[in-house]
Amino acid sequence: MSKNFDVVVIGGGPGGYIAAIRAAQLGFNVACVDEWKNEKGGPAPGGTCTNVGCIPSKALLQSSENFEHAAHSFADHGITVQGLAMDVQKMLGRKNTVVKQNNDGILFLFKKNKVAFFHGRASFVKAADGAYEIAVAGAAAETLVTKHVIVATGSNARELPGAPFDEQRILSNVGALAIQEVPKKLGVIGAGVIGLEMGSVWRRLGAEVTVLEALPTFLGAVDQQIAKEAHKLFTKQGLAISLGVKIGAITANDSGVTVEYVDDKGTAQKGEFDRLIVSIGRVPNTIGLQADGVGLQLDERGFIKVDDECRTNLPNVWAVGDVVRGPMLAHKAEEEGVAVAERIAGQHGHVNFNTIPWVIYTSPEIAWVGKTEQQLKEEGVSYKAGTFPFLANGRARALGDTSGMVKFLADAKTDEILGVHMVGPVVSELISEAVVAMEFKASSEDIARICHAHPSLSEATKEAALAVEKRSLNF
């Protein structure tokens, strides 16, 4: 017997579960279908982000950073550590606990907001009489009928041709988060967010890490002044980063992985690694959705086609998050989920792609929002720039981490903030001030005139804003 709903959300990741909750808040009868399983086969909503992405990676980053501080920084604080050792199994166990807490939290939120949850894989069956029939294949087969469908099925890691993931030697983000012992030599293909974060985790714990990047520039999407500073700092830490490489044959066996490649000078090289992480991007996940059965259109790259408001070509079918165009970021998916729920309710949901923040949770962290300096130059925009180093920030000195800087870019005529870029301690928490400022069309003068607590890392933001007019006070 079918069950009827106003809205059915397919996928329980950041875009899906948030869309379901917001739709329920707006008075709709809502169901969310998600197939992620925990180690016991039970439901594990939260998608890639919660299970094998954002959340577990941050747990491992925190554990490994604590270990590195104990090994290298505590002595400066007068703290002596003897017999320092890392229990990798306990670290992984803590990571799994953090993941489960988030899974359980989402299930609690569904219950609190009266969202019906179905554990299994959802697929389109047919469209009829102004509604859609959705099949759920799980422990118990279900048939759902709904007027509105929100597809939030996320993405999967992209494989290198000829080197499929086995999650033992050749690893995606899934395997990279579950390495059972510190590898002596770790290879990473792709110097993006996942590659740098996972490379940082295992380097801190003692692995010799080599990062191979096909592009000739490091972090090409990042403001290049910030990227060059980050490259210098990561290299100093011990990450071996090779740019402009051409990957050749990859062979894996029980003892390790061999990567043949040509470096930026045209010289043939061979890397021998215990494990290899491949992080060359992600592809939209529409496996098993049966999009063809109802005529749901995909583009040439496999993304679900949507307009600016996340409408697909089918009436009352919407799609959000990694499975559609735009940055593959959890918070972007959340904002789209909220906006779609509100549009279904006749409201005017809104997502401003120009003020979506980006963060790389390495140490130092990298964060930015808005235009980079190279983009402004390419677009012919007249701008002013101001920078301030954490070296001159009192709180950074007290923390013992003065690496990096904050950079403001503002319109030369109006002073409106066009972009803010940071590399340094805890800048993931500082970037929100810039997002708020840009959403309200603030000028650099506005930030420069706002009182910031002293001593705080946020003072670097104020000082960089002051530097736009060359009137920084502490540098």
Residue 454 annotated among the catalytic residues of the structure: yes
Instruction: Give the H/E segment covering residue 376.
Output: helix 373-379
Task: Report CA 277 to chain centroid distance, whole Å.
Answer: 17
How many Å apart are CA 368 and CA 432, to the nearest integer? Answer: 9
Handedness of CA 373, 377, 381, 382 (dihedral sign): positive
What Cα–Cα distance (Å) separates residue 28 from each residue in 6, 9, 24, 150, 310? Answer: 6, 12, 5, 13, 19
Instruction: Give the H/E segment covering residue 118.
Output: strand 116-128
- Burial code (b: 16+ CB inside 10 Å, e: under 16) for 291-306 equals beebebebeeeebbeb
CB atoms within 10 A of CB 48: 24
Q: Which of 35, 28, 45, 47 is CA-nearest to residue 146?
A: 28
From the candidates 69, 77, 331, 454, give the one annotated as an active-site residue: 454
Both tokens of residue 427? Answer: 């800048």
Side chain identity, residue 200: S
**Crossing angle for the helix pair 14-25 and 88-112, to the nearest 10 degrees:** 20
CB atoms within 10 A of CB 44: 24
- List, by residue number, the catalytic residues: 454
